[in-house]
Structure 1
Amino acid sequence: MSERPEFTVRNATMEDVPGVARVLSRAFFDDPQAEWLFPDQVSRMAKLARWWAALTGYVFVPRGRVRVAVEDGPRPVVRGAAVWKEPEEPSLSPRALLRTLPNTVSLFGLRRLPELAAFQRELGALAPATGPYWHLEVLGVDPVAQGRGIGAALLGAGLSRADDDRVPVHLETNREENTAYYGRYGFERTGELDAEGLPRTWAMLRPAP
């Protein structure tokens, strides 16, 4: 029986954007938030790929916020990605917002923009009220590569940096079963969003060491 390919965790580059978009689209295809964003199952995958590509290429990678797990071999393949926000990182620049706006309007239409803004406000209310913290915005592994420790490696790499800074780590998840997984890494539930018309969301915090 052949051995499974090894993988390397590193910072993402612009060349990784298509791979990151593919992995996150596959990982979150049936996630409650993805279903809320793109209810039509037929077009969801394509729209998710466009959405993640825009965010990754215009916001996440330029800010150095993405770590990828790349399968080693003659043709390296991105198999997992994690998006982190550092403590006290400034808000998006007007230029970054303008670059993502055409994709946002095209994918969601003008009518849904207030709804999306309301969801972001609710998520913001779940964040720690005081003190600096790291924010794990996204962690996804290609379904074909799950069970190989990729998610644990990506998570561990970020938690190590947070421990070096001696600050807590905040995250949100739309699946209650994920809270048990993150609980094994020291995360505790800190809040819940259960508002009509919005994806149910659980907030978690890993205290500073």
Structure 2
Amino acid sequence: MSERPEFTVRNATMEDVPGVARVLSRAFFEDPLTEWLFPDPVSRMAKSARWWAAYSGYVFIPRGRVRVAVEDGPRPVVRGAAAWKEPEEPSMGPRALLRTLPNTVSLFGLRRLPELSALLREIGGLAPASGPYWHLEVLGVDPVVQGKGVGAALLDAGLSRADDDRVPVHLETNREENLAYYERYGFAPTGKLDAEGMPRAWGMLRPAP
């Protein structure tokens, strides 16, 4: 039986961008959204790492709400990452494409920009219609430490902050099998995106305590 690794959960810095991109590209390699974005499995890992590096460096980390789980040791390694949006922060939606435009155009070309923007708008429609809420934008764990408590530690850290604020928490997932995992933390499905030509997505909400 393998030993449970020791890791520290802390706020991410810009120096963590490569580690966050590596973890998320590995965690979401077979995710329906990633497969839709990058259909070619040969180039998917490299391209999705560039995608996550752009989002981490230009959208997530500058807002100061990314937590990373770092495996302790002589050479600490990022093993998990979670990006959160506070209730008072405006939703980025398609505007995130503007923040990452050079990288997005390089990866997808101009032709896919309308398609990407439409997907982000549709996913945004799964969010609560009113009231403040925390938003778990992404949570990913390196497959080599799956089942070791990394995801739970990252999730618990954000949920504790939301409970302190006494507001609900919203998330989206593109994998139906993830619904049961999040239901264990008090989330319930609130809507589904099932549009032709787009990856399926589910919205989930955890009520305020």
Size of the aligned set, in residue pairs, is 207
What is aligned with 1:131? 131
Q: Deviations over 1:144-190 (max 9, x none)?
A: 01111000000000000000010000000011110000000000000
Residue ranges of structure 2 left out of the alignment (5+ in a row): none
Q: Aligned equivalents of 2:177 and 2:36: distance in 1?
A: 18
> Which has the higher mean CA deviation after the structures are superposed, 54-63 or 150-159?
54-63
Secondary structure of 1:171's counterpart equals: strand
What is aligned with 1:205? 205
What is aligned with 1:43? 43
Give the conservation status (yes or no) of the 8 Å contact 1:8–1:70: yes
What is aligned with 1:114? 114
Write the mapping of 1:15-164 to structure 2, written as runs, cut at 5 A. Answer: 15-91=15-91, 98-164=98-164
Task: Using structure 2 for the length normalisation, give the TM-score.
Answer: 0.95
Q: Aligned equivalents of 2:132 and 2:200: distance in 1?
A: 25
- Runs (4+) of structure 1 moved beyond 4 Å? 95-99
Give the conservation status (yes or no) of the 8 Å contact 2:59–2:99: no
What is aligned with 1:170? 170
TM-superposed deviation, 1:77? 0.3
Task: Using structure 1 for the length normalisation, give the TM-score.
Answer: 0.95
TM-superposed deviation, 1:59? 1.5
Q: Aligned equivalents of 1:72 and 1:122: distance in 2?
A: 39
Give the conservation status (yes or no) of the 8 Å contact 2:97–2:117: no
Give the conservation status (yes or no) of the 8 Å contact 1:5–1:73: no
Q: Aligned equivalents of 1:91 and 1:125: distance in 2?
A: 11
Residue ranges of structure 1 left out of the alignment (5+ in a row): none
User: CA 1:3 to 1:124, structure 2 compared with 1: closer, same or farther past 3 Å?
Assistant: closer
What is aligned with 2:10? 10
TM-superposed deviation, 1:2? 7.3
Q: Aligned equivalents of 2:178 and 2:91: distance in 1?
A: 28
Q: Aligned equivalents of 1:195 and 1:8: distance in 2?
A: 40
TM-superposed deviation, 1:114? 0.6
Compute the RMSD of aligned alpha carbons: 1.6
The amino acid across from 1:150 in the alignment is V
Q: Deviations over 1:75-125 (max 9, x none)?
A: 100000001011020355xx9865511001011111111111111111111
Q: Aligned equivalents of 2:83 and 2:55: distance in 1?
A: 11
Q: Aligned equivalents of 1:196 and 1:96: distance in 2?
A: 23
Secondary structure of 1:61's counterpart equals: helix
The amino acid across from 2:62 in the alignment is P
Secondary structure of 2:62's counterpart equals: coil
Q: Aligned equivalents of 1:5 and 1:150: distance in 2?
A: 9
Q: Aligned equivalents of 2:171 and 2:2: distance in 1?
A: 37
Q: Deviations over 1:35-59 (max 9, x none)?
A: 0000011000000000000110111
Q: Aligned equivalents of 1:18 and 1:113: distance in 2?
A: 25
